[in-house]
Amino acid sequence: MANTIRIRAVASGDTTEVQSLIRHPMDSGFVKDSKGQLIPPHHIEVVQFEHGGKVVFTALWGPAVSKDPYLKFSFQGGKKGDDLKVSWVDNKGESDSFVGKIQ
């Protein structure tokens, strides 16, 4: 699988602002395909962000989160060049992770 995670993390003062975009269909389970069959739910359940050995943010998502989901949050600490790890897992057990650098 091509990398599904894009992150943009920028340190400014003592705060790091994180934005992420994950490529995922986030099928709600309520939409029908072109043949009239319901597309079964397929959505990310948990996204975790880690910095310096600590979880700095956890998202718990249901099927109402938009396709190719976006997130923005900020945490204290983090400096340019630090690693920031993102990982997700969905309701089918598929997962991906990515380590990016804070800018």
Partner 1 sequence: MLRKVCLAAAIVAVTAQPLLAASGVDPQADFKAFRKYFTERFPKVPLNDFVNGPYSMDEGLRKQWKAIDEFPPYEFAVDQGKQMFETPFKNGKTYADCFPNKGIGVRQLYPMFDEKSGEVVTLDVAINKCREANGEKPYDYSKDDMAALTAYMAYTSRGKPMDIKIPNDPRALAAYKAGEEYFYTRRGQLNFSCASCHVQNPGNHIRSEVLAPALGILNAMPIYRSAWGGMGTTSRRLRSCNSQVRGTPLSAESPEYRNVEYFLSYMANGLPISGPGARP
Partner 2 sequence: MMFSPDASGRTRRTILKGAIAGGLAGLTLGSFPFPAFADADAKQWPQDAFKQKSEADALKALYGKPAEASDKVSLDAPEIAENGAVVPITVDSSLPNVTGVAILVLENPFTLAAAYKIPEGTKPAVASRLKMAKTTKVVAVVESGGKLYSATKEVKVTVGGCGG
Q: Which residues bind partner 1 (CB under 8 A)?
A: 2, 6, 8, 19-21, 23, 67-68, 70, 72
**Among 18, 17, 23, which Cα is nearest to 5's?**
23
> What is the binding site for partner 2 (CB under 8 A)?
15, 26, 28, 30-32, 45-48, 50, 53-67, 69-77, 83, 85, 87-91, 93, 95, 97-99
> Shortest distance, CB of residue 28 to partner 1, whole angstroms?
11
DSSP 8-state assignment for residue 91: T
Separation of alpha carbons 48 and 56, rounded Å: 8
3-class secondary structure, 22: strand
Nearer to partner 1, 24 or 51 (CB): 24
- Report the partner that residue 93 touches, choosing among partner 2, partner 1, none (CB closer than 5 to 8 A by kind): partner 2
- Report the partner that residue 84 touches, choosing among partner 2, partner 1, none (CB closer than 5 to 8 A by kind): none
> Shortest distance, CB of residue 100 to partner 2, whole angstroms?
8
**Among 58, 54, 60, which Cα is nearest to 82's?**
54
Structure token pair of residue 56: 């700095």
- The single residue listed with the structure tokens 């989160």 is 65
